[in-house]
Amino acid sequence: MTAWHELLMKDHETTERVFVAFDNALAKAEGPGARTVRLARTYFVEYVDGCHNKKEELHLFPLIEQRGIPRGGGPLAVMLGEHEQSKQLLAKLVPLMQAYESGDPTTLEAMREVFAEYSALLKNHFWKENDILYPMARKVMSDADGAAVVRGIEAVEAALGEATRAKYYDIASQIEIHGGIDPLSSSLSAEVLAAMLDALPVELSFVDENDIVRYFSHEHHPKIFPRTRGVIGNAVQDCHPQKSVHLVNKILRDFKAGTRDVAEFWIDMGGKKIHIRYVPVRGKDGKYLGCLETVQDITRIQSLSGEKRLLDDA
């Protein structure tokens, strides 16, 4: 069973993507289409305010108040106050959206301004819940409490109709399509992205959907399995000993068929324990794009015990 905080954080994640997509639609010189505005209004009113907030207000917040988190002060009081603020902003935003949907373009600028305030409030609100309130709540809640909140979440959704979550997540996807949403990596230059990949304590290799090697990290650093640019453009089968090619082919065949999500191995080499993992890379539509290999020296990780919470002196 999915944990209560995972369900609520998934709502947050989905809504934040809607915020980005709708903001992109609003930023267009001609403004968004009326259908996009109608979908966004439906999502904000019926799901964010009418469903997500009620999951917390009816089931999570009262329970954690019983477990000692006060309603009259601290994070819980702040969250309740921000729910009310979001409701007030939504009451200002909805008439503007309805007027725009009816063909009044003069409301566009006001709609942009109120939406910016509404989305900024909720993005900050979600962060506070994810990073402060939910961890605090988990410390005071039992497993039975968590299960009760999950049942409450399901009850709120059921009261709004069949497959409520799927219905509104589909609306969210439609808004994303209309507004457009860039991957997070789009804000990074190729130089920064390459440097990030090389900074990982894991070596990466990628072969495309046709089994051709397209990338490996740590080109200018020592590597567990040395390789050079000469492998780029070659079939991955040609980069393995003949005795293991059948295994490579099976892994790739399973990934393409969707019958395997991971293949991992670990070996002893030069006094070190080396972990090797292969995972399929898929697009948003589930299409197979290729295979990612990770290689990591886990010798020190295996020796860890207890906890380390302090920073070593520089």
**pLDDT tens per residue across span 165-206:** 999 999 999 998 877 777 777 788 888 998 999 999 999 999
Set out the domains of the chain in order of their start, with CATH numbers.
4-181 (1.20.120.520), 187-303 (3.30.450.20)
Q: Rounding to the nearest 10 degrees, give the CA dihedral for residues 112, 118, 120, 124.
A: -170
**pLDDT tens per residue across span 214-271:** 999 998 888 888 887 888 999 898 887 788 889 999 999 999 999 999 999 999 998 9
pLDDT of residue 314: 63
pLDDT of residue 130: 94
CB 217 within 8 A of CB 295: no
Q: Among 130-134, 173-177, 227-231, 277-281, where is mean pLDDT lowest?
A: 227-231
Among residues 160, 82, 154, the alpha carbon closest in space to that of 118 is found at: 82
Share of the chain above pLDDT 90, in %: 74
Among residues 264, 266, 259, 273, the alpha carbon closest in space to that of 301 is found at: 273
Classified as helix, coil or strand, 114 is helix
Residue 34: pLDDT over 90: yes
